[in-house]
Every structure is written in structure tokens, then in C-alpha cells.
Structure 1
Amino acid sequence: MTSDNNQIKNITWQDIEPLILDEKYKEFFKNFDPETFKLVLDEENKSKVTESILKMLKSTDPENATPEYANEIIEIMRNVVNKIQEIKPMDLIFTTTSDDLNLPGFYYPSKQKDICVLFIHGMSGFILENYFGHVLGRTLQTNNISFIFTHNRGYAHINDIKTNKVNSEGGFETVRNGAVYERFEKCVPDIESWLKKGRELGYKKFIVIGHSLGVSKVIHHFYKSNPEDVIGVILASPPDMVGLVKKTEYQSNYEKLLDEAKQNIQNDNPRKLLSDEVWDWYTLSSQTFVDLFEENRPADNLPILRNPEKFPELESITVPILCIVGENDDIAINSLEEDMTILKNKATNVTSFETYILPRANHVYDGEEKGFAEKVLDWVGKVRR
């Protein structure tokens, strides 16, 4: 091991976990000091590492506290460290939209350039609070599939996104967005700018993953742009945005908020904040609320509750789809199984539509990040061929 390899020097459990494929060993390493991984490539340290492993095994798994089993673990550790050394560091990159917003993204490059997976986050999402996105990126990257965790203008609750316009002080002007103020239809230039960035990086084909509201954005972008180099779409935790506020158990004061929002827009105050939260969590501007939650607006492209004969935007997708939800997700309109069946039946032009319910997982796959990543990896591998 070279001491100047910063990826090894700063190794954490978050780096290690995606590379431990056997659940039997994962539980062991979860409580293991990552510092020990730095020692395994040096034969002089083998006895010290073996001693640490045996000590831990005696307290956690006495039956396997043998030198032979310790050597198995050391071999796994060496493989992990070698893989980490091969992986290029995650990189902060930017793309500029057609309306001059500089959006940040996190790039997990691989050696192969045939395909790149783009991740489109949901309401207020961003990478600092999205562990499953990081695990997904690392998992794909270690399997020679590049990944970009993209940010659209709706990242975080409020943000100030830099433009290229110089202000009076010599700096750059910013535009305030975030979940509070974003306009849904701007997802089209946002996603288009990330596809353009991927092409600039040398990729020829893309798979686009939308999570939660990001699903609605991915579908709307496909409907508007019909990108020829997108070869697959993943709908992760797909929501009926309008249904999730019209059902009283989710939002008891929907009609009141809609009337209030429309009145504010009529009074030429579309950015005025509403008097109450959505889902006891989101404080939204009036225009954003109408964009996302009024019937027949562009965000209303998965109307499971109303269940009309056709879902035109979903019908526009002509490539394979994976629809994945957590077993404990709280977005169901009917049941998770029924909702996914409706979506599958409405996606009439896809070449395939696979559904999967991830056991024990919630809306953001807490504790089941690896299972989510492995399912995506498996599906991407099939589409990639």
C-alpha cells in the first residue's frame, strides 16, 4: 500500500460498505475499525491485523475465532483496499442550464465510457443528505458503470444558484430556488443540461433514475425531449403528486391551500409563502404549490388516484423501465402493488417494465441502501447488454 494514496488514508465505512458483497462479512466489518484496512497490504503488519481480527471474533463470533477464518477476512480486506485504490475519487462538477444556472453534481467516474447513470433527486434532495445516492454511486462505479448525482434547481429547501452574470460588485449574480420556489417545468432544461454534460464527458448512452418528485421530472423531460441516447429509465418511489395531497389522510387542508395559492398568484404575489406546510414538512411558495399539486399541471403525470384511461407522459417512454419502491414507503394511493400495476399497464410503449418492492425499506431506503443499489446494478447490467 502506498502511504500517499489519499483514498486509503481517509478510508471510512461509507467507502468500504459497497464493496462488501457477502452479508456474512458485512456485519463483522460494520463494527471494525477502518484504520485497520490501511495495514493489510503490508506483510509486516499481518500479525497485527490478525490479532485485531481474532480479538474481535472472540467477542462477536467465538466459533469462528480461528487463524484460518482471520486469513479469509484479511483476503477480503485486501481486495477491498485494492478496489478502492483503483477507484477514481468522486469529483464535484458543474453544468450550465440554457437559462444560465450553474448546477452542481457529483461525478463517480469509471474506466469504461459506454454508459453513465444520471440520478435526479426529489423534493429538497441533495447529496449531503442522500446516503443511498452515494452508496448507489460507489456500487455502480466499482462495477465499471459511471454515475452522476445531479442537482436540479429544486435542491435543498432554499438555495442561491450562481449565474454567469456579473453583478455591480464584480461577483456573480445568483437566483434563489430550492424546493420552496422551484418551477416544475424547469426540470426540462435542468435534466437536458446534465445529459449535455454527460455527452461532453464522453458518454454515448444514459440511464436516468428519478427518485420521488424526480420521477415526475424524468417522465416530463422524456415527454418533452425524447432523448435518443437514454436507453433506460428507473422510477424510484414514484409519486402521484396530486393524489398525495388530495387524500385527506395525507393533507387535510388541500383545498384551502390551493385557494390561498391561487389568490396570491392572482394578486401578483406568486412567491408568497403559504400559511401552512405540505405533509407537515414543506413550506412552499404559492406558485410552486400550484405547479406541483393542481390537477392537469405537468407534475400531475402519474394520476393514480384519478386513474384516467391514459397517462400520456408515461406513454411517451419507449425504453425499458424499472419501478422500485420500499416495502414501508408511505406514498401508496391504493397499495404499493396496485399502484405499480397501474403504472405498468399505463406504460404502453415500453419494451419492458419490471417492478420490485425492496424489503424493509422506506421512501429513502434507510438501512437498505445496499439492497437498492444492488437491484439497480442488476437491472442496469441487463439493459446495458
Structure 2
Amino acid sequence: MKISLIHFLSTDKLRLPGLLFQPDEKQTRKAVIYLHGCGSSSVFYSPKINKLAAAITHLGMAFFPFNNRGAHYVKTLNRITRKNNVEMVVKELYGTSYEKIKECIFDIDGAVSFLRFKGFNTFHLIGESTGANKIVVYDYYSKNSPFASYTLISPGDDTGLYFEKLGKTLFLKIIEQSKSMIQDGHGLDFVPNSIGLDYPFSYQSCYDVLNPNGDYNIFPFNDALNDLKLGTKALFKEFRKISRPTHVVLGSNDEYCYDKADSCMNLLKKNVDYNEKFYFELIDGADHGFEHHEQKLVQTVSRWISQS
């Protein structure tokens, strides 16, 4: 397969890097885009990317994993603007610590625009961990999704996990504190480390992740399993409305599923309107990252895409 290092612009003009894998034999007009998770994630550090690339290019399709604005904890990105017909570069801080999940729309649309410019016209979208949440957010807000199918790998319940980690009192306190800091113009300030969050979070990102009524709370497993009633938003509201054929893959030992991966999968099955659009698969023995089960994951994902 042929591999190219790519830089492209999101639709709000952030320069993002990616890898374009293409089959050797023939020109293809089909492409699969991949969205990574949060935290220290990056498509450039994951051995899984090469395995997915080999399988997808074997199908005669291109594979385009890219680092979205949520890659790394903190990362300086260049925003490209024009002033008096001269290109200007403005450096801005992004990464998991600053990202708001709805901004994924700019990144995904930018990737599609780049691939269209390259001659591609059929698209599939894979998202892993937070990337799975981003797919549902994208589909919910997109008036006409350009994708033929979605693959959601290890969809996550960050809101519910932080509720369990922090306890109800501290959880609600941080939400209100973050909201207040944003209103006072300090949304980019960092939440104190003493709070005990897993990552260094700005108040704006903290509020985005913890708010049970927000866009990030796509897979509220903890809330549904334990009837927590954390917010007023209908549970699985966005997932229920997904518009494209969707493949959901969970590991039976996913450490972020409260030791109840099968129950989490059943919740997803119960919260879809048209079961024929969905294919749900629980991979026995696999954890959240599918360590030592990568080949099984790659096989099931590539099979789904080939049939979509």
C-alpha cells in the first residue's frame, strides 16, 4: 500500500495532520476515516492503525486516520487565516484539555472536504472511544451526513465514570464551578489537580465532559444502569436518532463499562429505533483498547465496511 503524510484544514481553518493509506493496485474512490480517542491519543503512536490500514486497503479502499484537535493532552495547533490577501498563522492551544466535543464537526467536515478534493466520493467513518461519541455527535447535528456507514468501537461514558470517581457532591460542585468560571471568562483556566480528574482539564472542557445534559454525554451507561437521573436530557437521545447503518463493537472486559459490558451493549440495543440498521458485537476477553485482540477487531471492522 501507498502511505502519505497529509496536512489539511478543518472547516474552521485548523491545520491537522493525518496519514493517507491507499491500495497499490488501483485508484479507489472509497475512503474510510478514523477518529481516535481522548487523552494522550494520537494516530501516529498506535500499532492498531497499521493493522486497520492493511485490512482496509486490502478491500480496495483508502484509509485516512488523522489527529483531530483533541489529540494529546495539550497541543499547539496552527489556525490559518488571511489578512489583506496574505496567509496568517495564529497559534492556539488545543488537545483534550481544551477541546469541546461538538468541535469535531469542523474536523470531520474538513477531512471529507480534503478527500473529496483528492477524488474520493464514498466515505465510511470509524470512531474509537471518544471517537465513537464524536460520530454520534456529528450525525446528530449534521443535516446530511456524507457517510455510508459508521463503526463505533468502545463507546465511552466519561460523564458516568467521573460521577463514580468523584461522588455526587464533588461531581455536582465541579460542574457548577466550571460553569461559573466559563461565565466569568476563565473557561481556559485549568481545574486544580487536587480535584482528582484523570487529565489536566480546562474549565470549558471539564464542563463539556461532566455536564449530563451536554453533547459529550452520548452513552450514559452508569445513569441508565443505576437510575441516577443525573440530568434532564433523555438518555441515549442522540444515539437513538443515528441516521446511518452502524456497527457497535465492545470488549467483554472493557474496564470502562463498570464490569457490565454485556449490560451496556444491551442498553444500546434497547435504545435504537430500527434494529436492522445496527450490528452489535461483543468481543470476548477484549478490554477497552482491544489489547491482544487487535486482529479480531480488525477482522470484524473490515468485514462490516466491506458489506456496507
- TM-score band by shorter chain is 0.7 to 0.9
Give the 3 Å change call, closer, same or farther, for CA 227–120 of structure 1 in structure 2.
farther
**2:204 equivalent to 1:287:** yes
- Structure 1 unaligned regions, length at least 5: 1-86
Report the counterpart of residue 237 of structure 2 in structure 1: 312
Q: Equivalents in 2 of 1:151, 1:317: separation in Å?
A: 24
Q: Does 1:120 align with 2:46?
A: no
Larger radius of gyration: 1
Residue 336 (1) aligns with residue 257 (2):
no
User: Residue 365 of structure 1 aligns to which amino acid in structure 2?
Assistant: F
Counterparts of 1:1-385 in structure 2 under 5 Å? 87-88=1-2, 90-110=3-23, 111-124=26-39, 125-165=41-81, 172-248=89-165, 253-276=170-193, 281-307=198-224, 311-333=236-258, 335-349=260-274, 351-383=276-308
Q: How many residues align?
A: 294
Check conservation: 1:257, 1:276, Cα contact below 8 A: no
Q: Do the aligned partners of residues 369 and 382 (structure 1) sit closer, same or farther apart at CA in structure 2, a change above 3 Å counting?
A: same
Q: Cα–Cα, structure 1 residues 97 and 117, in superposed 2: closer, same or farther, change >3 Å?
A: same
User: Structure 2: which 5+ runs fail to align?
Assistant: 225-232
| TM-score of the aligned structures, taking structure 2 as reference length | 0.86
Give the strand-richer structure, 1 or 2.
2
CA distance in 1, matches of 2:203, 2:274: 35
Contact kept in structure 1, 2:269 and 2:275, CA below 8 Å:
no
Please, what is the CA RMSD of the aligned residues?
Answer: 2.5
- Give the alignment's TM-score, normalised by structure 1: 0.70
SS in 2 for 1:129: coil
1:138 positional shift: 2.1
Against the structure 1 CA distance between its residues 136 and 279, is the aligned structure 2 distance closer, same or farther, given a 3 Å change threshold? farther
Percent identical among aligned pairs is 22
Residues 10 and 106 in structure 2, CA contact (< 8 A), matched pair in contact too: yes
Give, in whole Å, the separation in 2 of the partners of 1:95 and 1:252.
Answer: 43
The structure carrying a bigger helix percent of its residues is 1
Counterparts in 2 of 1:345 and 1:201: CA distance versus 1, 3 Å: farther
CA contact (8 A) 1:327 1:359 kept: yes
Higher relative contact order (CA 8 A, sep 6+): 2
8 Å Cα contact 1:180/1:284 also seen in 2: yes
Q: Secondary structure at the match of 1:367?
A: coil
Deviation at residue 293 of structure 1 after TM alignment: 1.4
Q: Sort the Cα spacing of 1:171 and 1:229 in 2 relative to 1 into closer, same or farther, 3 A.
A: closer
* Alignment-mate amino acid for residue 127 of structure 1: V
SS at match of 2:157: coil
Distance 1:210 1:177, change over 3 A: same
Shift of 1:171: 7.2
Say which SS state the counterpart of residue 242 (structure 2) adopts: coil
Contact kept in structure 2, 1:100 and 1:163, CA below 8 Å? yes
Contact kept in structure 1, 2:31 and 2:62, CA below 8 Å: yes
Contact 1:270 1:285 in 2 (8 A): yes
Quote the Cα distance in structure 2 between the aligned partners of 1:140 and 1:91: 16
Deviations along 1:335-358, one digit per CA (max 9) or x if unpaired, are 111111211221214642112222
Deviation at 1:286, TM superposition (A): 0.6
- Write the letter of the residue equivalent to 2:304: W
SS in 2 for 1:284: coil
CA distance in 1, matches of 2:169, 2:290: 27
